[in-house]
Every structure is written in structure tokens, then in C-alpha cells.
Structure 1
Amino acid sequence: MTTTRPSLGMPEATKAPEGAGVSRRSALKFAGIGIGSVAAAGLGVGGVRAATNGVFNAGSGDPYDLWHEWATMPGIDRVVAAGVLACNPHNTQAWRFTVNDEVINVHSDPRRRMPLNDASGREHFAGLGCAVENMVIAARSDGFTAKVVLFPEGTESDHVARIVLGKGGTGQDRKLAAAIPHRHTNRGPYNATPVDLSGFTDQGSRVDGASVLWIADKAAREQLGRLYVEATEAITADTAQSTEAFTWFRSARCDIDKHCDGLSLDGQGLGRLTRFAAKLLPAQSRTDGDDFWTKATRDVHTATAAAYGVIIVDDVTNRTAQVAGGRLLARTHLTATSLGLALHHMNQITERIDRDRAAGNPDVFSARWAALLGRTASTGLVSFRIGHPERTPGLSPRRNLKDLVTASYSSSCGAQRSESASTA
């Protein structure tokens, strides 16, 4: 069950007590667990946990329906659903939509921001940019044109974008659109095969004001990897920052069904047996989960990255630049999916830069971040690793359209409907 943590500035629906689940970074410390222990855990209390934690129904049911149904959805429903399936920070899904005929308005839900892990709001607004671009891609693939106006009421408004659809599109972006229901963050290990980055060249010119900086050189990758580990250690040592992130982890299946958001064990990149055991055995504490996250960052994430990518903008604190960077991030992730590559969003360094600045702490990361980028730290918006996957990632839960959309539109772009959204 969830509880309220007012000091975090988060909505009640997103709270979870510290002992109620495994942290978002935790794969649990099951290295070396015996098959007999797992089998024994499947009996008695462990058997109850198997049922309540989704051992046998992972990736199915209402929280996952959009992934399975998206390809056959009609008209504007399909376009808006593409936005809901976009990558976003910590799976907070901090968006709301209003739809009137051929116009889709995208609004920020400020109650779903993470002020300690995302002090500048860069990830929040980049996630909204991902939703905008997913919808543009889906609309164009269905033969619509899509004109985007960012912050039509000014950058201080929660009205992030207006997308105006029209007839007469050329059907572009169909390959990226086909990747939408298959795009997932892959936190597992990658194999040693080098990545051919030439397949991403075309996407870099698709969004004004944003570009991708690739870091593939081995020495540079190793330096960046060490910086990621250090930033991870700093986050886990910051109790308030770690606790805020922990509230978004959904350990029990009942919490996944209730909230349809956040991170779960299925998305942690675990091997099949480890994931099975993690769901059977009692959840570990936030601090144990953070210890495992640090180890995974060092021994799996940075150790197996074939390359890193950084979304570059003119100013990471500029709202329009944040959304534009998110739009390019969405295209990049979908391109990776279409090429059979894995992508894992890793923003520990920038989270610590923003956290230290907001808290008035010494800035221990900006100079080294800038040296690796070859440009000022204020241009590196968000980052990720990429490679050839060894495991298939699990699905992340998604909220239903009825909880996110206020709509009234005609059959020119889909079936006639009119409904009000819940803003929970």
C-alpha cells in the first residue's frame, strides 16, 4: 500500500513506504541463490508472493494493454496512444492530453515531477518532448500532416505543445512508427559487438535545436563509465534523492495495477531465474537496492556499453530546448529499436549536477562532464548507452487513455467520442 511523503512534494498516488518494494535500480542480491531456495520460496508465503507480485502474468492485463493493442487502434486514438507509449523519466508519465477534432494539446502534469532527481526539470520536459515526437511519427505514418507549436501560451505555462493534424501526408516515418510498440528501455547486459552508428545519421537533422553526440572511443567510454559510477554513488548517498526515486518503484502487482506507472522488476534487465526469485522472495530495502544499482552500473551498464549518446542543445535549462531534445531522443530510441539495438537511458551525472546546484553544494561533475563532451556542461541535456542486447526487456506499465485524455472529436480523424480525463 502507498503512503504520503509530503516532504517529497509528490502526489499521494505515487508514494510507497521504504520497505514496500525494491528500488528502481535494484535487481536484488540474488547472485549465488540456489535452485532449491527458489523452489522452496515458491511454496507457502512465497507462493502467495508469486501470485501478488505478478510472477505468472507479467506483461499482461490492463497496465500493458496499450503495448499490445496500439498497432490496431484507429485514428486519433492511435496517435495519442503513441504519446503515452513514449519513453519518459522513471515512467512518471507526466502528461495530459486534450483533443478537439484535429488538434492535440499536450500538457505537463506538475504533480508528477521529481524535484530532487530532476531539479531543473530537464528530464520532465524531455519526456514530454518524447511524447510529442511519438505522436508526430504516428500521425505521419498514418497519412496525416502534423504541425507542432511548442509552448503556445509561453514557457511558464503547463501547455507544452499543440499538434495540428491535417490531411495529405506522405506516410513518412512508417519504419519508426512500427517500432513504437516494441521500444523499451533495456537495462540488461549488452554483448561485445560494436555498434554501427551510421543508421542514426538521418535522424539528427529531423529536430531543430538538438543533435546527438556519440561517444564510442574506448578510452572516452571508460572515463564516462567511471563518472556514471561516481554519480550513482552520490545519488545513493543522498538519502532524500534516493528516497524520492524509490517511491516510483512498484514491487507488488497490485501497485502496478493501481497506478499503471513507475518501474518494476520486469524492466530491470534481470535474467529469467533472478527475476523469478526476486518476485518470490521478500523485497529488499531501499539501501540494499541502491547498493545493487551501484554494482550493476559498474559491472553491467558501463561495462557492456558499446557506445554512449548525449542529446546536445544550446541550453539545458531552456524549456523549449528541453522539449526539442526529448523529441530527438524519441527518434533516436525508435531508430535503435528498428535496428535491433538496445538503449538504456542513464542520467545520473546530470541529475547530480542539477541536484548539487539546487542544494547549493559544490559542483563536482560539471567540469568533467564538459571535458568528455568537448563543450560546456550546459549543453548536455540527457544521455544513454547503446548496444546489442543479450536479453529481451520487459514491458513497463502504462496508464489508460481514459485517465489521460479529455477529448471531443469527429470521425474525420477517428471514431466519434467525448470523454473527460481523470487527472489522478
Structure 2
Amino acid sequence: MRPEDTTKTIDAAIQAAVWAPSVHNTQPWSFAVDGEEIALRADSDRKLRVGDITGREQLISCGAALENMRIALRAMGREALVRVLPDPDRPALMATVRLGEPVEPDEHTLMLYGQVERRRTHRAGFTDQPIPDRLLDELAQQAALEGARLTPIRSTAAVRVLAALTEAAQEVQAQATLFTMDVIRWGRAPESGRADGVPAEAYPREPVTTEPAFAQRDYAHGRPWGGEADRLTATSTGLIAVLTTLADSREDWIAAGQALQRVLLHASAHDVRAAFHTQSLEMVHLREFARQELLSGEYPQMIMRLGFTPDEGIGVRRPIDEVREDTGA
């Protein structure tokens, strides 16, 4: 491959990576390029200081970025040779991705790649349109490909419990100054020029009531921020689903991020979007309660609502020249 072609391919892979979802859109990653290898690193300055002490959510975010790189490279006709957590002495090094042999991209990979910049996180209610069972089965298969399990929560009682856990965690966190500072730090004012954090237009100005209600983060913190009501007035809770893993190591968190991103991209291709609710997973005892009482002992990595919405969503990302560096000679 010519050097200019290699550069173009690597730039496209990093461009795809930065469009991955991340907690509060912190974009907690950076990329170092050496020849035909990309090093994906966690950016400690962008980790939540209180809500993510263990780094679990940061590693899930980095796992989603890694999945986007893998998909992008295959879509461009190159296999991705991945090593996850390759160096115990460099805990910030999440993975290395080396350009492998030429491959013929399959139709599904091209479909997923086409959703990388289209996918958006939702922060309001959904329409009443149900998600077809066949699509839910496909989403579960996508998660399984990366070693995780996606479970739609069918029990009304279990949905109420998850909603109550989310509400309890949100209420406690809203009263805790340090938790609140994590959220305020990443809430963007209207017309802000920042290329990270949660845009004020990405959530409704007035809370949308669903039944049962899943508490939303208060990024506005009492200020009159938020999107126009007519764009964000759907009131269905949507389908509740939980992404779990059998173990709870750093490798599992990265795998969960890869599984999550495959699910989100496949869902986006069918116009299904996701709203995330991680409040209860940031509190050890509530996460453990959900694991033991609702999830058969598996570790919850993401609680989400899935559904259809007329809102196209707003996305902002840092340009790759802010997250990329060349380390080769």
C-alpha cells in the first residue's frame, strides 16, 4: 500500500473512532500512529472524577471507539489486527490496531460503517411504534459476536425496578456536589463552540414524562437550556434492554463497549435509537442489586431504552487533529 493510501486509511479509521458514543460525550481517548499501527489510549483527564472511579465507563467508551475502527478498516478493505490491553505496564493503552491483509468488505460491515456518523444518543421519550422481534434477535446476535449479552426486559415488574433504581441513583447523585460537578462539567451551553460534552439542544427543555419514568441527567442544572418541545415530545418509554457480561474485568468492559457499538449501529440502520441510563451502575450497591436480583448474576454494563423517534439528534466531535499524534520516525 502506498504511504498516502495508508495515511488515508488510518485517518478514516480514527475519524470513525471519534464518532463512538461516550459517557457525557467526554470522548475520553487519544490515538497514536506509528506506521500502519494505531494505539488507542484512554485520556485520564476526560474520565469522570466521581461517577467513574474504576474507569469502567471510560473503557466501555474506548471499546466502542475500537469497534468503529475495526468496522471502518474492514469497510475500506483491510483486516484489523487488534491487541486489547497489550501492555500491563501501560494501563492507559487500551488496544493497538494494525492494518492487516486486504479483505473484501461484506454487505453488513458496509451497512454498519454507513451508520457511524448517523448514530445519535437520545435523551427523551420514544414513539409508540414497537421494535420488531426479529430486529431484537438481530441486536442480541450483534452483542454476542463480541462476547456480551443483550437482554430485552419483558417483565413489567423488572422494568419498574430498573426505573426505580435509576430514579434513586439520580436523586442521590443530584444531591451530591461532586457527582453534580461531573455532569455540569460536560453540559454545554446553547451556541457553545465546544466540540465535546452534551449539547443543550440534545435534550428537551422540559422533562418528558414516560411511564414508567427513567430519570434523565440534569445537564442544564436549573438553567433554561434544552431543545424545542415539538422535536422531543414523544412519550413512550421504549423497550428496556440491558447489556451484560459474565465477568467484570477491564477486558470485559472493553468487550462490552465493542458489543454496545455493534448493537447501536445495527439499530441505527433500522432507525432505532438508544437512550442510556447509567446512574445506578455508577453506585456499587445498586449495580450489585441489579446483578443479583434481575440479571442472573451477570454484570450489567449498560441499561438502555430503545425505540423510534422523529428527532434526528445533534452530534459534536473533536477534529482528529486534536486526538491524533504521529509517533513514528
Q: How many Å separate the matches in 2 of 1:200 and 1:108?
A: 27
Corresponding residue for residue 400 of structure 1: 319
Q: How does 1:401-420 map to 2 (within 5 A)?
A: 401-407=320-326
Indicate yes or no: 2:207 matched with 1:207. no
1:123 deviation in Å?
Answer: 0.5
Q: From 295, 318, 328, give the equivalent of 2:259.
A: 328
Native 8 Å contact 1:105 1:162 kept in 2: yes
Q: Give the AA of the match of 1:366.
A: E
Change in Cα spacing, 1:286 to 1:240, as seen in structure 2 (3 Å) is farther
User: Which of 273, 277, 282 is the equivalent residue of 1:342?
Assistant: 273
The answer on 1:370 being equivalent to 2:292 is yes
Alignment partners' CA distance in 2, 1:96 and 1:226: 36
How far off its partner does 1:166 sit? 1.8
> Which stretches in structure 2 are left out of the alignment for 5+ residues?
1-6, 207-217, 227-232
Letter in 1 for 2:141: D
The structure-2 alpha-carbon separation of the partners of 1:227 and 1:93, relative to structure 1 and needing over 3 Å to count, comes to: same
Aligned equivalent of 2:229: none
What are the equivalent positions in structure 2 for 1:175-214 lying under 5 Å apart? 175-196=111-132, 197-208=136-147, 210-214=148-152
- Provide the rounded CA distance (Å) in 2 between the counterparts of 1:289 and 1:155: 44
Which structure's CA Rg is the greater one?
1
Query: What secondary structure, in the 3-state scheme, does the structure 2 residue paired with 1:77 have?
Result: helix
Look up the match of 2:199: 264
Query: How do 1:132-281 and structure 2 match up within 5 A?
Result: 132-154=66-88, 157-172=91-106, 173-196=109-132, 197-208=136-147, 210-253=148-191, 256-257=192-193, 259-269=194-204
Give the structure with the higher percent helix.
1
Please give the alpha-carbon distance, in whole angstroms, between the structure 2 residues aligned to 1:139 and 1:407.
19
Given that 1:117 and 1:245 are in contact with CA atoms closer than 8 Å, whether structure 2 keeps it comes out as no
Would you say the 8 A contact 2:82–2:98 is kept in 1? yes
Distance 2:76 2:219 in 1: 46
- CA distance in structure 1 between the aligned counterparts of 2:45 and 2:139, rounded to whole angstroms: 34
The residue identity in structure 1 corresponding to 2:246 is D
**Residues 27-66 of structure 1: matches in 2 within 5 Å?**
none
1:372 Cα deviation (Å)? 2.0
Preserved contact between residue 82 and residue 95 of structure 2 (Cα < 8 Å)? yes
- Pairs within 5 Å for 1:294-309: 304-309=236-241
SS of residue matched to 2:117: helix
Shift of 1:202: 2.9
Change over 3 Å in CA distance of 1:211–1:365 after alignment to 2 = closer
| Secondary structure of residue in 2 paired with 1:179 | coil
**Among 32, 44, 50, the residue aligned to 1:110:** 44
One-letter amino acid of the structure 2 residue matched with residue 342 of structure 1? R
Contact 1:269–1:394 (Cα < 8 Å) also in 2: no
Whether the 8 Å contact between 1:231 and 1:348 is mirrored in structure 2 is yes
User: 2:199 touches 2:314 (CA, 8 Å); kept in 1?
Assistant: no
The 1-side partners of 2:163 and 2:78 are apart by 42
Residue aligned with 2:172, SS: helix
Query: How far apart in 2 are the matches of 1:308 and 1:102?
Result: 41
Letter in 1 for 2:75: S
> Partners of 1:170 and 1:365 in 2: how far apart?
42
Matched, 1:388 2:308: yes
Q: 1:242 to 1:374 in 2, by over 3 A?
A: same
Q: Distance in 2 between matches of 1:89 and 1:96?
A: 15
User: Would you say the 8 A contact 2:201–2:314 is kept in 1?
Assistant: yes
- For residues 49 and 311 of structure 2, the distance between their equivalents in structure 1, rounded to whole angstroms, comes to 33
Distance in 1 between the 2:102 and 2:287 partners? 48
Q: Structure 1 CA distance, aligned partners of 2:78 and 2:11?
A: 14
Equivalent position SS for 1:167: strand
What is residue 33 of structure 1 aligned with on the other side?
none
Question: SS state of the match for residue 235, structure 1?
Answer: helix
SS in 2 for 1:153: coil
Higher relative contact order (Cα pairs below 8 Å, separated by 6+ residues): 1
What letter is aligned with 2:196? D
1:393, CA displacement in angstroms? 1.3
| Structure 1 portions without partners, runs of 5+ | 1-72, 272-283, 293-299, 354-362, 410-417, 419-424
- Aligned-pair RMSD on alpha carbons? 2.8
Aligned pairs for 1:75-86 within 5 A: 75-86=9-20
- Separation in 1, partners of 2:110, 2:175: 45
Measured in 2, the distance between the counterparts of 1:385 and 1:155 equals: 38
Q: Distance in 2 between matches of 1:310 and 1:285?
A: 24
Task: Rate the CA distance shift 1:401–1:198 in 2: closer, same or farther, 3 A.
Answer: same
Q: 1:387 to 1:216 in 2, by over 3 A?
A: farther
Q: Supply the distance in 2 between the matched residues of 1:188 and 1:240 (Cα, whole angstroms).
A: 25
Matched, 1:311 2:243: yes
Alignment CA distance shift 1:92-1:266 (3 Å)? same
Following superposition, the deviation at residue 375 of structure 1 comes to 2.0
* SS across alignment from 1:308: strand
TM-score, scaled to structure 2: 0.83
Offset of residue 220 of structure 1: 2.2
Amino acid at match of 2:14: V
